[in-house]
Amino acid sequence: MTDPEQAVARTDDRLAPDVDVLVVGAGITGIYQLYRALEAGFSAQLLEAGAGVGGTWYWNRYPGARFDSESYTYAYLFSKELFEEWEWREHFAGQPEIERYLNHVVDRFDLRRHMRFGAAVNSAVWDEPSATWSVVVDPDTVIRARFMVAATGNLSVPYYPDVPGRADFEGEQYHTGRWPVTPVDFAGKRVAVVGTGSSGVQVVPAIAEQVASLTVYQRTANWCTPLNNAPINPDEQARLRAEFEPICETLQTSASGFLHPVHDRATFDDSEEERRAFYERMWNSPGFSKLTSNYTDLLFDPAANAEWCEFIVERIRGIVEDPATAERLIPKDHRFGEKRPPFVIGYYEAFNRPNVTLVDLKETPIVRVTAGGIETTDGERPFDVLVWATGFDYGTGALTRMGIRGRNGEALEDHWADGPATFLGILSTGFPNLFFPGGPHAAAGNNPRYNGDQVDFIMDTLVHLRRHGYDSIEVEQAAEERWTNMIDRWAAKPPSFGRSSYFFGANIPGKPRRYLLNSGGRPKLLSMIAEVRDNDYRAFRLARTPDSTAATA
Ligand code: NA7
C-alpha cells in the first residue's frame, strides 16, 4: 500500500497509483467513505476545498443553521461506542454542535492525518493505460488515484441570482451556503434576506432581534411548519443509549431513513373532528414527521393535501398579526410536499416584530441591486448587509465543475448535458473507477442513511475488485439506462416532488429539467444493490490493466 501522506507531495507521472482511494469532500459522506476505505485496508486520502471538516455543515454556518432531521438519525451508526459517547444536546442540533460532532468523529477515528484542507480539485482525468485518475489539486499537485470517490455533496455550489448590480453593492453581502467563519455582526444594521427556502426561513428569526431592520424578499411562499425542537433530557439520553440496536434496525430498513412511524390511515377514513385532532398532533410533531407520518394519501389525493394546507393557512393567519403579510406568506402555487418543506422556529412570529418587513417579489420584482441597497418596482430600500439565501445548483453542481474527464476525454458535464445519467446514483458509464455517493439520484429521504448505503456498496465493490485482482470497474450502458429511465419514469408520479422544485433543477436558469433525487427510494436502491451482488457484478465491466499495479495489498 502507498503511504497517502507521501502521495500528495509527489508530482511524478509513474503509472502506479499514489493512493488506492481518493475521496473528495469532508462532509458526512466523505468522512464515512474515508473511514470505511481505511478500515478495509486501502490506502486513502481525502481532499477538501474548505478549511475544516463538515462539507455542507462547514459552509452553511449562518445564524439559525440547524438539522431538521433528528440529530441521532442524521449521525453515524457504524460505531456503537461513538453513538453512546456523543450526547447530542438537542433533538435538532444547530450547526456549531454538528461541526463539533464531525470533528470529534474525525479525531476519534484518527482520520485527520489522511485529510488535506484548502485542496480544491481542478481537474480529474481518467488515464486508460494505467487505470488511474490523475487528479490535479490547486495549481500543480497531481495525485494518481486508483479509485476516486467524489463525495462533493448536493448543496455545495451556491446559486446567486442574476440580479443586475449585485457586484455594485458597497455594503457586506453573504450567501448562506458560503458563510464566513468569522461571525457576521448584525447588531444595529439594516439587513435584507433574499430567499425564503429552508435557509432563508432559518436565518430570519435567528437575526431578527439583533438587527435594526430586516427586510425579507420572498418570491415564493413555502409551507413552513414548526420544527418543534427541544433539548434532549437525561431520560431521553439514556433511552437513546439503551435502544441503539432497535434504532439502527429502524433507520437501516425504513424507506425514509427516519424513526417516524408511518401512519396507517387515509385522510377521509377519519371524521372531521378526528382529522382536526390529528392535524393538531402533526403540527406539534417533530420535523419531517409532518411528511412521513401524515395521512397515507397526503401526497396522492389533492383533496387530502388541500385540507392539511388549509390547517396550515389557519395557523399562519392565527400567528401573523398583519393580515396582508399573512396572506403573502400563504403559498398559492404549490401543494404541501411538492417542494421541500422547511421546518421553522419562530419564522411566522418574526413578522410580528416592528423591525421585520416582508416584500413580495411577485408584486414588486427586484429591478437591481444598487450601491446602497435593493431597488424593486416599488422603489429602493437602503441596506448595510445583504443575505442571499437563494439556494444551490443542486445535485450535479459540484460534479460538473470539477473538470472530470472520463474515457476518451469525455467531460462529465457533456455526458450529463441533458441531466444526470447514473447507475444507483453512484456511477456513470464512460467514467471508470469514479463513484459519487450523495450526488444526483442518491437520496429520497434522510440523506446520511441513503448515502451510507451507497458508501457501503462502494466498499463491498472495492473489496470484490481486490479479491479478484481487478483494477477497473465501469458500469454497462444498459444498466445506466435502466436506472436512469426508472428515475425519470417514477419521478413523474407522486410522491416525487413537483416539477417546480429545485429537485428538478428548476431553480437554475438553463439547467435541464430532470429529476435529481432517487425516485425509486431506498427500497429500489437496496434491491438493485442486492441484484448486482447476486448477479456477480454483471452490470459492470471489470478489467485488469496490464500497465498498472493493482490496488491489491
Ligand atoms: P432553496 O430551497 O432553493 O431556496 C432558495 C430561495 O431563494 C427560494 O425562496 C427562491 O425562490 C429564492 N430565489 C432564488 N432565486 C431568486 C431570485 N432571482 N429572486 C428572488 N428570490 C430567489 O435553497 P435553501 O438554501 O433555502 O435550501 C436548500 C436546502 O438546504 C434545503 O432544501 C435543505 O435541504 C437545506 P423561489 O422558490 O425559487 O421562487
At 96-139, the pLDDT tens digits run 999 999 999 999 999 999 999 999 999 999 999 999 999 999 87
What is the β-pairing status of strands 19-24 and 225-226?
unpaired
Once rounded to an integer, what is the mean pLDDT over residues 516-523? 91
Interatomic CA distance for residues 282 and 293, integer angstroms: 8
Given phi > 0 = left and psi -120 to 50 = alpha, else beta, which region is 346?
Answer: left
Tell me how far the alpha carbon of residue 342 lies from the centroid of ligand 1, in angstroms: 11
Once rounded to an integer, what is the mean pLDDT over residues 296-308? 96
Q: Are 452 and 77 in contact (CB under 8 A)?
A: yes
Tell me how far the alpha carbon of residue 218 lies from the centroid of ligand 1, in angstroms: 9
Pick the range with the lowest mean pLDDT from 185-194, 271-280, 325-334, 512-521. Answer: 512-521
Instruction: Give pLDDT, residue 499.
Output: 77
Q: Which atom of ligand 1 is nearest to the CA of 196?
A: 9
For 46-80, letters b (16+ CB in 10 Å) and e give: bbbbbebbbbbbbbbbbbbbbbbbbbbbbbbbbee
Pick the range with the lowest mean pLDDT from 109-123, 290-304, 391-405, 532-546. Answer: 532-546
For the four alpha carbons of 537, 543, 544 and 550, in that order, the dihedral sign comes to negative
Instruction: Give pLDDT, residue 444.
Output: 86
**Is the per-residue pLDDT at 3 higher than 60?**
no
- pLDDT band with cut points at 50, 70 and 90 for residue 324: very high
Query: Between these two residues, 254 and 48, which has the higher pLDDT value?
Result: 48
**Is the per-residue pLDDT at 276 higher than 60?**
yes
Once rounded to an integer, what is the mean pLDDT over residues 379-407? 97
Report pTM: 0.95
**Is the per-residue pLDDT at 364 higher than 90?**
yes
Q: Whose CA is nearest to atom 34 of ligand 1?
A: 198
Instruction: Give pLDDT, residue 534.
Output: 92
Mutate to test the pocket of ligand 1, among 332, 340, 363, 390 (most ligand atoms within 8 A of CB): 390
**Is the per-residue pLDDT at 494 higher than 80?**
no
**Is the per-residue pLDDT at 442 higher than 70?**
yes
Once rounded to an integer, what is the mean pLDDT over residues 464-491? 96
**Is the per-residue pLDDT at 551 higher than 90?**
no
Interatomic CA distance for residues 276 and 281, integer angstroms: 9
Once rounded to an integer, what is the mean pLDDT over residues 211-235? 98
Query: Which residues surround ligand 1 with Cβ inside 6 Å?
Result: 155, 161, 176, 194-200, 217, 219-220, 340, 361, 389-392, 502, 507
Structural domains of the chain, with CATH: 4-49+118-157+394-552 (3.50.50.60), 171-222+350-391 (3.50.50.60), 256-341 (no CATH)
| Integer angstrom CA distances of residue 313 from 12, 92, 318, 462 | 64, 25, 8, 51
The three grid cell numbers given for residue 178, joined into one nine-digit string: 458560503
Q: Which atom of ligand 1 is nearest to the CA of 340?
A: 32
Q: At what angle do helices 447-468 and 521-534 cross, to 10 degrees?
A: 10
- pLDDT band with cut points at 50, 70 and 90 for residue 318: very high
- How many CA atoms are closer than 13 Å to the CA of 149, on its beta-carbon side? 32
- pLDDT band with cut points at 50, 70 and 90 for residue 235: very high
- pLDDT band with cut points at 50, 70 and 90 for residue 547: low
Q: Are 16 and 546 in contact (CB under 8 A)?
A: no
What is the β-pairing status of strands 115-117 and 121-127?
unpaired
Q: What is the mean pLDDT of the chain?
A: 94
Range list of H helices, 367-476: 412-415, 447-468
